[in-house]
Structure 1
Amino acid sequence: MLTNRQLGVTILITILGLAAAYVLHIALAIGFSFGLITLVVIVWRSGAAFRGILRSMWEGIKHTKEVMWILALVGVVIPTWTASGTIPYMIDLGLRVVDPSFFLTFSFVLSVCISMLLGTSTGTLSSVGIPLIGLALLLQIPLPMVAGALVSGAFVGDRTSPFSSANRLVASSTGVSVKDLFKALLPTTIGAGCITFAFFLFCDMSREWHHGEKDLLREQFGTGFNYSIWLLLPVLLLLLSILLRFKTRNGFLLSIASAIGIGIIFQGVTWNQWLHAMWFGYHSSLFDSLQTKGLFNMVELIVLIGLAGAFNGILEENRVLEAYMQKLLGGSSTSLFAATFRTALFGLGLGMVSCTQTLPIMMSGRSLLPFWEERFPRSQLARVVADSSLILAAMIPWNMLAIVCGTIVGVPVEQYVSYAPFLWALPICTLIWSYGWRDRRKVVGN
């Protein structure tokens, strides 16, 4: 176990390195590497075998391989959907159907519905977020606001849907059933959901988006792409694969393959053009609004996620934080409100250091369960973890969850987070609910 000073130095260097890299606009992986090197040296000098440290780092990297796959495939799927005509065709359909007057509200509600069905923020943002962002760009609606609506809706399902892996991780980590977890989450879900819906409805009603340009915008891509109903196949295959619970990366690969085939048949895209688009992104002098990034732009982020996995592997293997969690929350408070606040604060700190969503959920749930069971039901811990550790990770710019979301919608987290009220309303709602729940217990006791 590390001393208080050693742990403090590790956390401080990690956060400062990431923050400095972020402010200076250099690779986040460079900033994060300082914290990783510090942790390796301290653990090694504390008596751990260097070979064992390397083994734990490799195990941590293996746990992030699915995220690295998804990030790499997102870098490929966006240019392939664009070059095949799928995104232009979906934008054209959107211009026929969507009323720009309530675009933000529509984006949030649609994202909620799809995320509850799919149970994944990545799949939701990929299937409906990409075309809606393109449509918003043409309608000149601020992209951070649209991204905030989409991300808010995506995390309703990522946190609440019984099909969500994050939801099930919360349930297993806190020892509750998925059914009991859903009941525990319902009050704060309704509260934060109503706040979010009202927020976007107010934004739509207080702004005047572009109404009279729809016909002109619909003609914008008409000369550059051949439209067909078959252009929707890549999106439908991605949705279907997620619904059938295929591995997410397999769904992306299937969608990419179909987009390439459709692009060759309908748009006449050559193999050289495909390779260039997938690596460097889609670029066209005719359609500035369709410029995308490619796999090349994802390499830096993939390296960061690999380093974060190695960092987490050391933390888990050496159980660096467990004893400190007990000291922080062991028995100093009997109120649910105080326990909720401390758990949320710890989840935020762990999300900042570990750069993941999984580790804060697992450690907050498993390590704190004995403490909670002495005073409160397990379901209350599950609610607090879902409303803090699960959600707060999406607001940290260097957290891999936030990076993936920002990459898909093409808007960095620091630009859209103020327009994503579901993310910051949930921790507030869960604190209010904990405070009220404590008061009701006192009334019953009397």
Structure 2
Amino acid sequence: MKQANPRLPSLAQVIISLGLFLLMAFSFTAKLGLPIQLALYIGWFIIMALGVWLGHTYKELEKSALNGISNGLGAVLILLAVGALVGTWIVGGIVPTIIYYGLKAIHPSIFLLATMIICSMTSLATGTSWGSAGTAGIAMMGIGQGLGVPAPITAGAVLSGCYFGDKMSPLSDSVILASSMSGVEVVEHIRGMLPIASISYVITGIMFTAFGLHYSGQLDTSQVQTVMDTMQHHFDITPISFIPVIAVLGLLALRMPAFPVISFGALLGMIWAVLFQGSDFLLAFHAAWEPQTIDTGVKFIDAILNRGGMYSMLGSVAVIVFGLGFGGLLEKVGVLDTIAKLFEHKVQSSGSLATSTIGTAFLGNVFGSAMYVSLILTPKICAKNYDRLGYQRKNLSRNAEFGGTLTSGMVPWSDNGIYMASILGVATLSYAPYMWLSFVCIIITIVTSYMGWFVDKCEPKEALGSDEDNGDIPMVPKHQSA
């Protein structure tokens, strides 16, 4: 029977339920060879059982899970569209052309730095890390393979650039979401992030440059000519193939909806396959669903070219659907609220405030399995501490953004972790150690907050209820960006 006022879970109940989920997630993927989808599927019933024990009805819990899924279906559409785009851009010779000219233009010693800069500029202009990783990111992964750079290191440079540009762009959904949920103007939110983000970007650039200079002497430069010759042999390499790239990035920069724009890019890939690669239209059209089999005789090149298509994204779609529902259940049951209350009594300074906010945002990614869950719940949970201690809300939006956005790609079962692993062809836990911008930015934020730097104070005030401050949970923005 439903109780009049369902209880919040105790800390012990939270630890047991989330501990069971984490145990399953790690054991399934690391020990048993089982897909993470099954762990998320079972995780639903663990949280539902806790919710019923606390006084919720099954119907309420099911509705909260379905609401979580419906709010994030825009991410699923983008995922499928990008899969179609990658498949058709490969058969259309667009990705091979970018790789070919990139190998001609980029020197191995500055490749990692160039990767970060190119991806950050693309993400800054378009406001989407997903779109940037699916276009510039894929091309840089191919160039890196040609230069002999280990894929996890290249992926780290790609994501460092993608996430930096995304969170500094006023076009970004994550920027708009983090600022609006914190009650801060978008421009003010970006200004609040700019000092630490800029310092972190420079430091990360120096790290990638130093690593590239040290590593360039060990690279197998003979692979470069092998890749270029192979691309020329199997594709008609022409500068005209840059037109679809320019068109897609231009439309995204003009703030056109991502789903139709990326789908239009997939259509251009089909047209290019017919006009410039001599492909049959039906075969090119089929590449939007699953990749054509391309056998070049070079194993690592085949791994680059035999990718894409909506079919390859279906496993990721299942993760996102289960993950979004799991996040909806966690919010309904009050799991993150209980965790936040644990931090509340220990938060008495700007340093502990930043640390707890970043930690809460990271937990939102771990247990909510989606960046938007983190960016919605973290400001709602932490806002009262900023008001109570007298710190401006732009500090809240900045810390929530850094903790939620920059760690989203590190969680193997989150929407960003699954997407980036799928699109870049590198396991999440393999590239995560090389996401240097994320680590540098978070460390600098915590250290400077304890030092009292880049912290803006105001008059302390009684915190309003989080629902009054931020309103109801909004629909997830129309295109997912991290």
Smaller-chain TM-score range? over 0.9
Query: Of 186, 189, 195, which aligns to 2:203?
Result: 195
Check the 8 A contact 2:119/2:161 in 1, yes or no.
Answer: yes
Q: Using the TM superposition, give the Cα deviation of residue 327 of structure 1 relative to its aligned residue in structure 2, in angstroms.
A: 1.9
**Residues 392 and 456, structure 2, Cα contact 8 Å, conserved in 1:** no
- Point out where structure 2 has 5 or more consecutive residues left out of the alignment: 1-6, 458-482
CA RMSD of the aligned region, Å? Answer: 2.3
Counterparts of residues 59-138 of structure 1 (less than 5 Å): 59-138=67-146
Partner of residue 306, structure 1: 321
Shift in CA distance, 211/286, structure 1 to aligned 2, threshold 3 Å:
closer
Q: Assess if the C-alpha contact under 8 Å between 2:128 and 2:166 holds in 1.
A: yes
Q: How does 1:168-247 map to 2 (within 5 A)?
A: 168-207=176-215, 208=217, 209-211=219-221, 214-215=224-225, 217-247=227-257
Using the TM superposition, give the Cα deviation of residue 275 of structure 1 relative to its aligned residue in structure 2, in angstroms: 5.3
1:33 partner letter:
Y
> Residues of 1 paired with 2:377 and 2:413: CA distance?
20
Distance 1:439 1:139 in 2: 40
Q: How does 1:245-284 map to 2 (within 5 A)?
A: 245-274=255-284, 276-284=286-294
- Partner of residue 46, structure 1: 54
Q: Where does structure 1 lack aligned partners over 5 or more consecutive residues?
A: none
Deviation at 1:175, TM superposition (A): 1.3
- Once the two structures are superposed, residues 339-376 of structure 1 have per-residue CA deviations (whole angstroms, 9 ceiling, x without a partner) of 22222222222211111111122211122212211212
Q: 1:222 aligns to what SS in structure 2?
A: helix
More divergent stretch after superposition (91-100 vs 115-124): 91-100
The farther-off stretch of 199-208 and 230-239 is: 230-239
Give the % identical residues: 22
Shift of 1:319: 5.5
Distance in 1 (alpha carbons) for counterparts of 2:222 and 2:402: 41
The correspondence for 1:360, drawn from 374, 380, 388, is: 374
Whether 2:44 is the aligned partner of 1:29: answer: no
TM-score of the superposed pair, with normalisation by structure 1:
0.92
Match of 1:388 in 2: 403
Paired with 2:116 and 2:374, the residues of 1 have a C-alpha distance of: 27
Secondary structure of the equivalent of 1:68?
helix
Q: Which amino acid aligns with 1:241?
A: L
Quote the offset at 1:279 in angstroms.
3.5
Corresponding position of 1:330: 344
Q: Comparing 154-163 with 226-235, which one deviates more in the overlay?
A: 226-235
Q: After superposition, what is the alpha-carbon deviation per residue over 1:217-238, rounded to whole angstroms, capped at 9, x for unaligned?
A: 4332223222333322332232
C-alpha displacement of 1:259: 0.7
Q: Counterpart in 2 of 1:411?
A: 426
> Partner of 2:452: helix, strand, or coil?
helix
Aligned to 1:399: 414
Which residue type is aligned with residue 143 of structure 1?
Answer: A
Is the counterpart of residue 20 in structure 1 residue 27 in structure 2? Answer: yes
* Corresponding position of 2:13: 6
CA contact (8 A) 2:169 2:175 kept: yes
CA distance in 1, matches of 2:69, 2:343: 30
Deviation of the 1:205 alpha carbon: 0.9
Contact persistence 2:148–2:221 (CA under 8 A): no
Query: Equivalents in 2 of 1:55, 1:211: separation in Å?
Result: 56
Distance 1:85 1:287, change over 3 A: farther
**Larger CA deviation: 76-85 vs 18-27:** 18-27
How far does residue 429 in structure 1 lie from its aligned partner after superposition? 0.8
CA distance in 2 between counterparts of 1:17 and 1:374 reads 38
Question: Is the CA contact (8 Å cut-off) linking 2:181 and 2:379 kept in structure 1?
Answer: yes
Cα distance in structure 2, aligned partners of 1:267 and 1:65: 34
Q: Shift of the alpha carbon at 1:430?
A: 0.5
Q: Residue type of the partner of 1:223?
A: H
CA distance in 2, matches of 1:339, 1:356: 23
SS at match of 2:100: helix
* Aligned-residue offset at 1:409: 1.4
Separation (CA, whole Å) in 2 of partners of 1:79 and 1:241: 20
3-state SS of 1:163 partner: coil
CA contact (8 A) 1:344 1:385 kept: yes
Q: How far 1:320 moved relative to its partner?
A: 1.2
The answer to whether the Cα contact below 8 Å between 2:87 and 2:287 also exists between their aligned partners in 1 is yes
Pick the aligned partner of 2:149 from 134, 141, 154: 141
Cα pair 2:81 2:262 within 8 Å, conserved? yes
Q: Could you tell me whether the CA contact under 8 Å between 1:111 and 1:153 is conserved in 2? A: yes
Distance 2:433 2:454 in 1: 31
**Superposition pairs for residues 416-427 of structure 1, below 5 Å?**
416-427=431-442
Return the alpha-carbon distance in structure 2 between the equivalents of residues 271 and 312 of structure 1.
42
The residue number in structure 1 matching 2:166 is 158
What does the per-residue CA deviation read over 1:243-289, in whole Å, with 9 as the maximum and x for residues that have no partner?
A: 12122211111011111111122222224533553444232122641
Question: Does residue 384 of structure 2 align to residue 370 of structure 1?
Answer: yes
Q: Deviations over 1:88-116 (max 9, x none)?
A: 11112212322222111111111121111
Change beyond 3 A, Cα 1:45–1:214: closer
2:464 matched residue in structure 1 = none
2:357 to 343, 347, 354: 343
Amino acid at match of 2:146: L
1:16 partner letter: L
Closer/same/farther in 2, CA of residues 439 and 79 from structure 1, 3 Å limit? closer
Deviation sequence 1:271-320 (CA, Å, 0-9, x none): 4533553444232122641222433332122111111111222333x261
